[in-house]
Structure 1
Amino acid sequence: MLQIKEIFRSYDIRGVYGDKLTEGLAEAAAKVFAEHVRQETGKKHPLISVGRDVRFSSKPLADAVAKGLSDAGADVQILGVCPSPLTYFSMYCTPADGYVMVTGSHNPPQFNGLKVGTKHTVYHTDKIMRIYDDIAAERFPVSEYKGKIFEFDIVTAYLEEMKSLFAGLKTDMAGMDIKIVVDSGSGTASNIAPELFGWLGAKVFPLYCTEDGNFPGHHPDPTVEKNMAEARELLLKEKADLCVGFDGDADRLGALDSTGRMIWGDELLCIFADDIAKDNQGNRIVADVKAGQGLYEFIAAKGMHPVMYKSGHSMIKEKMKEEDAVIGGEMSSHFFFADSYYGYDDGIYASLRLLQAYVNGKRSGKFSVSADMTAEIPKYVNTPEIREPYPDDKKFGLITELSKLFGQYLAEGSHGVRGINDIDGIRVQFEHGWALVRASNTEPLLVTRFEAENGAELDKIKEIIHRELEKLK
């Protein structure tokens, strides 16, 4: 069993299909998860939703999950191909007690994974490892009752919900002649996002909006600029107002403004915060350690309280509940809305909120084009996330040693160190900027990001961090 332990990650179970992630493993994990849901809810036969993405391996894995759940005595509602957020939505529109989503998210096609959770519990870290521990110890539930397996049309239910929530936006958009490029990356948003934008009255220019597990157009990660290159060309050609893009399971949102510039995750969170600021004075907004200083300054200037926390969609969701936050987000472009939604990350819902913010700004005269939406955010010189391969078994130890080293520099008052935040990796504050070094929780990578008041200071900070990292590698 030790050979499969590495696929039990901080937020999910993820690996190469047919290697360590097999139908047998999926069935075993489902049996154990059913027992955990039974213990949490006290229900003898809990109802668990099963959804899947468009990858070719997702159907056999989802079938194995359904069998495992049923054999363990849980009833199973099959959602079929759908975005991850729709499995979460099933907690609110059906009596479902838990969910399993089979998805490789934005990973290469040979990967796949299982996301699990319940309506009230975010499964990450220890709860994921408990599933592994029970599998390793062969602690499987025994049930004489075989759970019922039936289908539920979650896509229709979701479309109805979105049309109800955004009926006012549809009215506001009447006669506005808004153009939207929608790049679904051949993933699960393909049959949903274009329909919703068209229903709102926008002129939609679809790109890769046919489901295809080969992802023929580009890798399904809209936060990487090269993956949005064709969408940018189409936006500029058609003089569109906005472009929205989705990853494979549509829990993240990528966006381009009217000039074709990428709107980064922290900028998108600023836009969402600005749109609700008037009615949310004093409320909290959670962002991750990778977000730029401009975001924290902007949110505070708008009369709300920014809270910095660990990266990871499960971590942000949990912190939002703890802080009673109205919205949250990550640089990776997971966004969470609890002001008038359910608090989970939903890329399609977030894209509609982005359009709503744009329409509100245009109608009030605050914006003339979508490029204006980021104009008030304090500007710094920064890098995107820099992801460097580094062994899984060494990455966290390296961060520990780096934290000790910079803690020493802070105590000495040397190397220009002004502060340290070690809530997730190490974020070092310098006089004129900051640097972040953290270990990825999902891949064998080190992630760095740098920001400063100007290019010269940025180069200085990068040099300091790179020099100290080389000492420890």
Structure 2
Amino acid sequence: MQHHFHPTVLREYDIRGIIGETLGAEDARAIGRAFGTLLREAGGQTVAVGYDGRVSSPMLEHALVEGVTASGCDVVRIGMSATPMLYYAEASAEQVDGGIQITGSHNPPNYNGFKMVFLGRPFFGADIQKLGKLAADGAFASGAGQVTTRDIMGEYVERLLEGLTGIDPAKLEGLRVGWDAGNGAAGPALEALAARLPGEHHLLFTEVDGHFPNHHPDPTVEANLADLRALVADKQLDFGVAFDGDGDRIGAIDGTGRVIWGDQLLMIYAEDLLKNRPGSTIIADVKASRALFDRVAELGGKPLMWKTGHSLIKSKMKETGAPLAGEMSGHVFFADEYYGFDDALYAGVRLLAAAARLGKSVTELRGAIPPMLNTPELRFQVDESRKFAAMEEIAGRLTTAPGPDVESVNATDGVRVNTADGWWLLRASNTQDVLVARAESETPEGLERLLAQIDAQLALSGLERGESVAH
């Protein structure tokens, strides 16, 4: 039986749509059937399935399981869970060959989607297009798979606690930390974890509620950290940690309420890790501060700039053997003593560990990071048919005739241009009809000059930096 997905649903890193408009139960059933077919073709048999706290998730999970079992694959249901719990279920069990998490991540409540793992690697890009074609052709395998249920909460929390192995408990006992689950799927796991952690822990919004009544669960937007900031100030806590809707992205603030952005967190983790693993490769995406790449090199590590996107970063980690990677968006990946997937709860534990091992408070570690002036991520609408072509034109100009102000151009993902003033970035989003710009300098005047260079390049391609649009 053929199935055609709405054209907006099959995306670069995952499958995502609006419930009742572009995504529904029939799509979930077809995804399960197609994924199961591809897994069986590759010699796999068993798929772990989890879902987040959105109102539509149980309905999609039911249809997805029907689809997977109809392909002849078996299903291990782990129930309502954070995305890293699904990744853990797939990575930690020898008999599990693939995994699908139903999650809308940090999107509004009426969205939902699917994140997938296939034989231990991310399932994205060409894989997702192949799944869509298989469904459109109706070339599904048939069978009658078995369904079992597995409660992994206890063992997952035990595994998280291993992030503190070898640390003198006395160094952790005095820690006082605030945590904000944002009514997302990480709430129950956070409650179980905090009950076991040394120190004093204050939790916000751990009740799973797919309407997100307190604030939107995206910790990279500073406004969403207001409740956590108030908690840290009120209780005079050492620092605070926040999660996105499905628990794979971390946000943090120090004891004074300063945001610790994704690249700054990576600096802290790198300082801790490179003491034990000198010379390691550490990967960050093209949006990260120059200060991070400089700091990794200064600490004796090998900084590697790579493309934005959690699936792309995970693939590059496997290729290079890097023990640590991160993105500005708050995805942090530890392959050091862990599995290499993005897990915000584990990243939270490793922040406690880093402070204890380095003998400095998180506020001190944040304070030591050099101040840089940078723009937020500027996202502006460019027609889907034009965005990649425009980026090719701009990259072509900058590599053939860069102009006197340009010191170097990195074309790993869009263009990242270094000048005496700092750097600027322009890239096409893989998930929206937008171009993304960012610039960083040490002075306000330098930042203005960098933005003027971005505008000049856009103008040469008949575009302008319009109103910034939401992620």
Quote the offset at 1:247 in angstroms: 0.3
Quote the offset at 1:167 in angstroms: 4.8
Aligned to 2:8, the other structure's residue is in SS state helix
Cα separation, 2, equivalents of 1:174 and 1:55: 35
The correspondence for 2:264, drawn from 254, 264, 267, is: 267
- Unaligned 5+ segments in structure 1 are none
Quote the offset at 1:446 in angstroms: 1.9
Cα separation, 1, equivalents of 2:384 and 2:365: 39
Cα separation, 2, equivalents of 1:286 and 1:147: 39
Cα separation, 2, equivalents of 1:242 and 1:9: 36
Quote the offset at 1:150 in angstroms: 1.6
**Which deviates more, 240-249 or 192-201?**
192-201
Quote the offset at 1:258 in angstroms: 0.8
- 1:442 aligned residue: 431
Cα separation, 2, equivalents of 1:137 and 1:426: 38
Report the residue type matching 1:127 in the other structure. Answer: D
- 1:128 aligned residue: 128
- 1:466 aligned residue: 455
Cα separation, 2, equivalents of 1:417 and 1:163: 47
Quote the offset at 1:69 in angstroms: 0.4
Cα separation, 2, equivalents of 1:456 and 1:293: 18
Does the 8 Å contact 2:76/2:148 carry over to 1? yes
TM value normalised by structure 1: 0.93
- 2:18 aligned residue: 16
Quote the offset at 1:54 in angstroms: 0.3
Aligned-residue RMSD, C-alpha: 1.6
Cα 1:175–1:314 shift into 2, 3 Å: closer
Q: Deviations over 1:309-349 (max 9, x none)?
A: 00000011000111111100001110111111001110100
The correspondence for 1:389, drawn from 381, 389, 411, is: 381
Q: How does 1:28-47 map to 2 (within 5 A)?
A: 28-40=30-42, 42-43=43-44, 46-47=45-46
Aligned to 1:133, the other structure's residue is in SS state helix
Does the 8 Å contact 2:163/2:350 carry over to 1? no
Report the residue type matching 1:81 in the other structure. Answer: M
- 1:152 aligned residue: 150
Does the 8 Å contact 1:173/1:200 carry over to 2? no
Cα separation, 2, equivalents of 1:463 and 1:21: 41
Report the residue type matching 1:118 in the other structure. Answer: F
Cα separation, 1, equivalents of 2:301 and 2:378: 30
Report the residue type matching 2:279 in the other structure. Answer: G
Does the 8 Å contact 2:14/2:114 carry over to 1? yes
Does the 8 Å contact 1:409/1:417 carry over to 2? no
Quote the offset at 1:204 in angstroms: 1.7
Cα separation, 1, equivalents of 2:40 and 2:267: 40
Aligned to 1:192, the other structure's residue is in SS state helix
Cα 1:51–1:24 shift into 2, 3 Å: same
- 2:345 aligned residue: 348
**Which deviates more, 118-127 or 223-232?**
118-127
> Is 1:245 the equivalent of 2:245?
no
**Which deviates more, 25-34 or 119-128?**
119-128
> Is 1:188 the equivalent of 2:185?
yes
Cα separation, 2, equivalents of 1:167 and 1:140: 46
- 2:92 aligned residue: 93
Aligned to 2:36, the other structure's residue is in SS state helix
> Is 1:162 the equivalent of 2:160?
yes
The correspondence for 1:374, drawn from 366, 377, 391, is: 366
> Is 1:114 the equivalent of 2:114?
yes
Quote the offset at 1:253 in angstroms: 0.4
Report the residue type matching 1:233 in the other structure. Answer: A
Cα separation, 1, equivalents of 2:390 and 2:443: 29
- 2:63 aligned residue: 64
Quote the offset at 1:468 in angstroms: 2.5
Quote the offset at 1:165 in angstroms: 4.3
Quote the offset at 1:202 in angstroms: 2.4
- 1:102 aligned residue: 102
Cα 1:408–1:69 shift into 2, 3 Å: same
Report the residue type matching 2:6 in the other structure. Answer: I
Report the residue type matching 2:212 in the other structure. Answer: F
- 1:209 aligned residue: 206
The correspondence for 1:433, drawn from 422, 433, 437, is: 422
Does the 8 Å contact 1:182/1:194 carry over to 2? no
Q: How does 1:258-407 map to 2 (within 5 A)?
A: 258-362=255-359, 367=360, 369-407=361-399
Aligned to 1:159, the other structure's residue is in SS state helix
Cα separation, 2, equivalents of 1:161 and 1:434: 40
Q: Deviations over 1:395-423 (max 9, x none)?
A: 2222122212323432xx34x12221111
- 2:83 aligned residue: 84
Does the 8 Å contact 1:386/1:447 carry over to 2? yes
Does the 8 Å contact 2:4/2:132 carry over to 1? no
Q: Deviations over 1:68-120 (max 9, x none)?
A: 00011011011111111111111233221100100000011111101111243
Quote the offset at 1:168 in angstroms: 4.1
**Which deviates more, 200-209 or 259-268?**
200-209
Report the residue type matching 2:267 in the other structure. Answer: C
